[in-house]
C-alpha cells in the first residue's frame, strides 16, 4: 500500500466522472492511418452503403482513446497505468454523433494500489448504449513519464504504427482454420503519441482537456490496444468482421522507439453464431520476446457478399419472355433485389432505367452489364423522397424512350433492429419517406405516361413482415404496410386505364439488407421453411417479371407471395 497518497482521497466506490466527445470523418481517416486499420467498413463509402449499417461507421476502438481521460479527471497528474481493459461493442457509432463517455469506480484495492472502473459510451441525444467496458488501473509512487506536446517530433514520414502496411483480408467463416494465426510488426514513436493527443483534442475540444494537455503513459498503452482493431479489420477475418468484444492484460512496461510484434491466433470457431474467439499476444520483437500484452478477441464473421448473376448469364437461363421494346424503371436498383431485377429485365430484352441515389459506380456497372448483354440501359440518380428529383428523372426517361411500361418501386432504407422504446419518430419518418413517399412520387410522375400510352404495370416490393411482424422492426413494418394500402387503392383507381398495380411479398431474402440478422435466426428461419432455403434476389426478380408480363393482365391489387412454402396461403 502507498500511504497517504492523494489517490486514496480521489477514488472511492461509486465515484463517477464523464465527458462528451464527437468523432468526425477526418478523425476516422487519421485513426485508420495511425493504426493501419483501413477496413472497408470504415473507409470505403461504397462498401459502407452496402453493409448492414448502410453507411461507414466509426472503428469500435476509436471511442476508447478517450477512456484515459476518465481516471485523469479523478486523479489529475497522479501517476497511474492501465493493468486491464475490456469492452463490448453493442451498436455502431456513426461519424458526427455526439456521445457521452461515463466512468464509475466500482472497486478500490489499497493493498494492491489499484482501482476498477466500469465505463460506457452512449449517444448523447437519446441515451442509446453503444459500448460497455471495464478498466483496471494501478497507482504508482514512481513519477510518470511526461512527454510534453511541444517536444514531440513533427516528423510526418511515418504516420502509421505499422512498419509495413497490411492488405485487407476477405475471409469466409468456412475458410478460417482453427489455430490459424497472423502477425504484423509495429513500432510506436513520439509522433504517434502526438497524433493520438490531437485526435483526443479534436474529439473533446481543447477547452475540456484539463490536465490532459500532457501525454501520459496510459496513452501509449491505448495505442497498443487500438491494434486489436487492426487485427480484426485487416487480418482475421478482415472485411466481413463485426467486432463483438475484447479484453487485454498488460504484463510488462511499454517503451517508445522499440519494435514489437502483434500475433493473433484462432482459438475457437462457433458454427452456430459464425463467430471466432482469438488469442492475442504483443511481444517485443527482440531476442527475449518479452510479453507485453495478452488478450482475447471475439468477432463475428459476416457472410461474404454474393456476386449477382451477370446479365448475360441471366439471359441464357431465362430466355426470351417477349419483353422487347418495353421500358422499365426500377428504383433502388444499384444492389440486392433491384440490381438482379434490372439485369433480368435487360436479359429479357427490355430497356432498363437503373435508379440510384448514392451508388453511382455500382449503378453504372449494372448498366454496362445490361448493355453488353444486348439491351438498352441508363442510370439516373434521383432521391425518390424528393418530388422534383423524381419529376426530372421521368422527364429524362420520356426524352430518351418516350414511355414507361413498367415501374418497380423497390427503394428501401435499412432493416436494423430497433426496440420500440428506443425508437424516435424521425426513424419511422425516414422509412415512410423512402418506401411510401418514394413510391407515391414515382407513381404520380409515371402514371400520366402510362395513361397516354394506353396502360402499364406497377409492381411494389413488399415483405412478409407486414403479415408476420418480427420483433424490433416496427418502423419497417409500418412503412411497408403503408405500401400495401397504396397498392390496393391505386389498383382500383387505375384499373380503368388498363394499369395493373400488384406487389411481390417475399419472406427472408439473402441480401445486404438482412446482413444484420444473426446466423442463428437465419438458420432457424431456413429450417422452418418447407423448401429449406431462403429466397434469393433472383426468386423475387422472377416474380416481379411474371407480374409485369402479359400473363397477369387480369391481375391487379394482389399480393404475390414468395415464401418457400411458409404461410400465409392465399
- Can you spell out the DSSP letters for 316-328? HHH---S-TT-EE
Given this model, what pLDDT does residue 143 score?
56
Mean pLDDT for the stretch of residues 239-252: 96
Q: In this model, does residue 140 exceed pLDDT 80?
A: no
Rounded CA gap, 393 and 119, in Å?
Answer: 50
Q: In this model, does residue 52 exceed pLDDT 70?
A: yes
Given this model, what pLDDT does residue 175 score?
95
User: Binning pLDDT at 50, 70 and 90, where does residue 2 land?
Assistant: very low
Q: In this model, does residue 250 exceed pLDDT 60?
A: yes
Q: In this model, does residue 79 exceed pLDDT 50?
A: yes
Q: In this model, does residue 549 exceed pLDDT 80?
A: yes
User: Binning pLDDT at 50, 70 and 90, where does residue 151 land?
Assistant: very low
Per the structure block, which three cell numbers stand in for 493? 383507381
Residue whose C-alpha cell is 504483443:
282
Given this model, what pLDDT does residue 130 score?
96
Tell me which of 93-97, 127-131, 470-474, 500-504 is least confident: 470-474
Pick 161 or 529 by higher pLDDT.
161
Given this model, what pLDDT does residue 206 score?
63
Q: In this model, does residue 266 exceed pLDDT 90?
A: yes
Mean pLDDT for the stretch of residues 175-184: 96
Q: In this model, does residue 159 exceed pLDDT 50?
A: yes
Q: In this model, does residue 465 exceed pLDDT 60?
A: yes
Three-state DSSP class for residue 51: coil
Q: In this model, does residue 152 exceed pLDDT 50?
A: no
DSSP annotation of 164? S
Given this model, what pLDDT does residue 484 score?
94
How does 263-286 read in b/e, with b if 16+ C-beta sit within 10 Å? ebebeebeeeebbbebbbbbbbbe
Given this model, what pLDDT does residue 197 score?
86
Mean pLDDT for the stretch of residues 170-189: 95
Spatial CA neighbour of 305 closest among 26, 40, 566, 109:
40
Mean pLDDT for the stretch of residues 116-142: 92
Q: In this model, does residue 243 exceed pLDDT 60?
A: yes
Which H/E stretch holds residue 127? Answer: none
Q: In this model, does residue 468 exceed pLDDT 90?
A: no
Parse the chain into domains and list their residue ranges: 7-301, 311-562
In what order do the strands lie in the sheet containing 456-461? 377-381, 351-356, 327-330, 406-409, 456-461, 499-506, 559-562
Q: In this model, does residue 559 exceed pLDDT 90?
A: yes
Q: In this model, does residue 147 exceed pLDDT 80?
A: no
Distances from the Cα of 313 to the Cα of 318, 348, 349, 443, 534, angstroms: 9, 11, 14, 31, 21
Rounded CA gap, 543 and 404, in Å?
Answer: 19
User: Binning pLDDT at 50, 70 and 90, where does residue 9 land?
Assistant: low
Give the CA angle between residues 409, 358, 34 to the nearest 5°.
Answer: 145
What is the CATH superfamily name and number for domain 311-562? NAD(P)-binding Rossmann-like Domain (3.40.50.720)
Given this model, what pLDDT does residue 307 score?
75
Pick 50 or 155 by higher pLDDT.
50
Q: In this model, does residue 294 exceed pLDDT 60?
A: yes
Given this model, what pLDDT does residue 551 score?
87
Given this model, what pLDDT does residue 469 score?
85
Q: Are the C-beta atoms of residues 434 and 385 closer than 8 Å to each other?
A: yes
The fraction of the chain above a pLDDT of 70, given in percent, is 92
User: Binning pLDDT at 50, 70 and 90, where does residue 320 land?
Assistant: low
Mean pLDDT for the stretch of residues 230-258: 95
Helix, strand and coil in the chain, % to nearest 5: 40, 25, 35
Mean pLDDT for the stretch of residues 461-486: 89
Q: Which CATH class is domain 7-301?
A: alpha beta
Per the structure block, which three cell numbers stand in for 123? 449517444
Positions annotated as catalytic residues are 476
Q: How far is CA 381 from the centre of its chain?
A: 23
Q: What is the pLDDT of residues 398-447, one digit of tens each?
A: 999 999 999 999 998 877 788 898 888 988 899 999 999 999 999 999 99
Q: How many CB atoms lie within 10 A of CB 14?
A: 7
Q: In this model, does residue 511 exceed pLDDT 90?
A: no
Pick 560 or 155 by higher pLDDT.
560
Q: In this model, does residue 208 exceed pLDDT 70?
A: no
Mean pLDDT for the stretch of residues 131-145: 81
Pick 208 or 314 by higher pLDDT.
314
Phi-psi region of 325 (alpha: psi -120 to 50; beta: other; left: phi over 0): left
Pick 56 or 147 by higher pLDDT.
56
Per the structure block, which three cell numbers stand in for 347? 436479359
pTM of the model: 0.79
Given this model, what pLDDT does residue 141 score?
66
Instruction: Round the average pLDDT of the chain to a whole number and report it.
Output: 89
Spatial CA neighbour of 525 closest among 565, 474, 473:
565
Tell me which of 23-27, 202-206, 261-265, 393-397 is least confident: 202-206
> Please, which residues have CB within 8 angstroms of residue 307's CB and are 6 or more apart in sequence?
none
Q: In this model, does residue 354 exceed pLDDT 70?
A: yes
Given this model, what pLDDT does residue 514 score?
72
Phi-psi region of 185 (alpha: psi -120 to 50; beta: other; left: phi over 0): beta
Amino acid at each position: 500500500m502507498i500511504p497517504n497518497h492523494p489517490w486514496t482521497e480521489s477514488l472511492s466506490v461509486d465515484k463517477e466522472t464523464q465527458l462528451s466527445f464527437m468523432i468526425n470523418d477526418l478523425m476516422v481517416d487519421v485513426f485508420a492511418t495511425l493504426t493501419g486499420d483501413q477496413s472497408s467498413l470504415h473507409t470505403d463509402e461504397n462498401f459502407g452503403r452496402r453493409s448492414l449499417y448502410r453507411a461507414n461507421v466509426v472503428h469500435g476502438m476509436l471511442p476508447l482513446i478517450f477512456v484515459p481521460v476518465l481516471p485523469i479527471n479523478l486523479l489529475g497528474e497522479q501517476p497511474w497505468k492501465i493493468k486491464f481493459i475490456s469492452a463490448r461493442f453493442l451498436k455502431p457509432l456513426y461519424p458526427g454523433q455526439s456521445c457521452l463517455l461515463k466512468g464509475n469506480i466500482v472497486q478500490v484495492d489499497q493493498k494492491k494500489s489499484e482501482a476498477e472502473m466500469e465505463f460506457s459510451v452512449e449517444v448523447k441525444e437519446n441515451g442509446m448504449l453503444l459500448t460497455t467496458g471495464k478498466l483496471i488501473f494501478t497507482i504508482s509512487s514512481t513519477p510518470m513519464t511526461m512527454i510534453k506536446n511541444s517536444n514531440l517530433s513533427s516528423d510526418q514520414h511515418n504516420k502509421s504504427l505499422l512498419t509495413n502496411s497490411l492488405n485487407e483480408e476477405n475471409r469466409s467463416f468456412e475458410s478460417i482454420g482453427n489455430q490459424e494465426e497472423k502477425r504484423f510488426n509495429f513500432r510506436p514513436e513520439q509522433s504517434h503519441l502526438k497524433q493520438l493527443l490531437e485526435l483526443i483534442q479534436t474529439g473533446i475540444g481543447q477547452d475540456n482537456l484539463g490536465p490532459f494537455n500532457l501525454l501520459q503513459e496510459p496513452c501509449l498503452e491505448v495505442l497498443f490496444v487500438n491494434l486489436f482493431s487492426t487485427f480484426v479489420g485487416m487480418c482475421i477475418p478482415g472485411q466481413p468482421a463485426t467486432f463483438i468484444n475484447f479484453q487485454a492484460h498488460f504484463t510488462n512496461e511499454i517503451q517508445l522507439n522499440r519494435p514489437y510484434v502483434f500475433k493473433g491466433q484462432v482459438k475457437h470457431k462457433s458454427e452456430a453464431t459464425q463467430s471466432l474467439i482469438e488469442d492475442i499476444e504483443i511481444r517485443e520483437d527482440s531476442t527475449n520476446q518479452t510479453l507485453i500484452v495478452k488478450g482475447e478477441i471475439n468477432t463475428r464473421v459476416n457472410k461474404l457478399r454474393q456476386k449477382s448473376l451477370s446479365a448475360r448469364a441471366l439471359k441464357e437461363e431465362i430466355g426470351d419472355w417477349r419483353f422487347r421494346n418495353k421500358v422499365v424503371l426500377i428504383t433502388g436498383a444499384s444492389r440486392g433485389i433491384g440490381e438482379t431485377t434490372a439485369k433480368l429485365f435487360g436479359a429479357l430484352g427490355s430497356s432498363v432505367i437503373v435508379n440510384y441515389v448514392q451508388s453511382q459506380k455500382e449503378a453504372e456497372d449494372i448498366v454496362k452489364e445490361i448493355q453488353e448483354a444486348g439491351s438498352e440501359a441508363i442510370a439516373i440518380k434521383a432521391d425518390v423522397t424528393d418530388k422534383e428529383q423524381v419529376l426530372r428523372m421521368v422527364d429524362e426517361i420520356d426524352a430518351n424512350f418516350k414511355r414507361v411500361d413498367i415501374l418497380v418501386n423497390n427503394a428501401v432504407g435499412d432493416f436494423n433492429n430497433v426496440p420500440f422504446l428506443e425508437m424516435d419518430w424521425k426513424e419511422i419518418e425516414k422509412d415512410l419517406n423512402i418506401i411510401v413517399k418514394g413510391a407515391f412520387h414515382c407513381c404520380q410522375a409515371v402514371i400520366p405516361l402510362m395513361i397516354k400510352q394506353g396502360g402499364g404495370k406497377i409492381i411494389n416490393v413488399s415483405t412478409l413482415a407486414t403479415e408476420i411482424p418480427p420483433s424490433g422492426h416496427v418502423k419497417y413494418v409500418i412503412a411497408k404496410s403503408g405500401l400495401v394500402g397504396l397498392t390496393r387503392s391505386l389498383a382500383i383507381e387505375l384499373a380503368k386505364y388498363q394499369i395493373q398495380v400488384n406487389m411481390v411479398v417475399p419472406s427472408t431474402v439473402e441480401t445486404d439488407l438482412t446482413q444484420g440478422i444473426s446466423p442463428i435466426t437465419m438458420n432457424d428461419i431456413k429450417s422452418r421453411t418447407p423448401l429449406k432455403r431462403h429466397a434469393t434476389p433472383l426468386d423475387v426478380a422472377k416474380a416481379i417479371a411474371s407480374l409485369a408480363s402479359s400473363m397477369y393482365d387480369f391481375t391487379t391489387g394482389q399480393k404475390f407471395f414468395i415464401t418457400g412454402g411458409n404461410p400465409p396461403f392465399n
